[in-house]
Structure 1
């Protein structure tokens, strides 16, 4: 089933537009209050402080993983790049409370498609930051270059990055 998603070799660089998965304020990843994300150990990326509790697909792709606690997903592009979208910090501890998944692992999705709804107030009241890292989870496996755009963003509309895959 996943055969068609394996990266194809090409002599041309492929540019992939990455749309914001959230409406809110995009900030440098180093502002995430978790050292694993802030220091880039989970991969390079950006963080977004959400204003709405709706996480959408960043590009057309395949959901490589939807965490059973519904606080995170990994979406894979046909080029092979994978993005981890991790709602909040330490929200795995909520065991799915405050999250509603609208997708499942292995599902193909379109850019802008609703993936997860979450209750921002519930998460905050439980004592967890809602800042959401968006990171390349397989940066060591797929060669690419990218820069991130910070500032106000709208889910599914604003481009937060253009990744250039350096296949050869």
Structure 2
């Protein structure tokens, strides 16, 4: 059965190999895509991309495991672990069930950029085969909840 992975926020699709981070670009944690998030003075809220359970929640990243065991990582910016949670607001607890579209973490891409970091948001299918993913093409503008990719 195919799993629809939805865009966690509004942004423009970037190919995973074009992410300016060797771990993501090299698909070390898995294949997927990235989003260059829309900028907003009010910041943005990253939403759960699938229905499931939040098995990891950090201020800068989270992982949702779907009911069938497939896991999706959403990483809010690059090297943002260095911010030690500053500028991130967590709305959901580790271990909590979520529906696709539930708010998980709010943050400001502008603030990340102002600190010299990239606000790009990788969305990765953990332990997946690239051939099992049908990705939205690079350059596609996605709104929150739109299909980012399907996972066969």
TM beyond 0.5: yes
The aligned residue for residue 153 of structure 1 is 142
1:124 aligns with 2:106: no
The aligned residue for residue 102 of structure 1 is 91
Bigger Rg, which one: 1
Scaled by the length of structure 2, the TM-score of the pair is 0.91
Cα distance in 2 for partners of 1:59, 1:39 equals 24
- Aligned alpha-carbon RMSD (Å): 1.5
How many residues get paired? 146
- The equivalences for 1:1-168 within 5 A come to 14-52=1-39, 53-67=44-58, 70-139=59-128, 145-150=132-137, 151-156=140-145, 158-164=146-152
Query: 2:32 touches 2:133 (CA, 8 Å); kept in 1?
Result: no
* Unmatched segments (≥5 aa) in structure 1: 1-13
Q: 1:46 deviation in Å?
A: 0.2
Q: Deviations over 1:17-36 (max 9, x none)?
A: 11111101011101110011
Q: 1:50 deviation in Å?
A: 0.6
Scaled by the length of structure 1, the TM-score of the pair is 0.83
Cα distance in 1 for partners of 2:17, 2:118 equals 14
Aligned partner of residue 73 in structure 2, secondary structure: strand
Query: 2:77 touches 2:109 (CA, 8 Å); kept in 1?
Result: no
* Unmatched segments (≥5 aa) in structure 2: none
Cα distance in 1 for partners of 2:62, 2:126 equals 11
> Which stretches of structure 1, 4 residues or more, deviate above 6 A after TM superposition?
none
Cα distance in 1 for partners of 2:4, 2:110 equals 31
Q: 1:138 deviation in Å?
A: 2.6
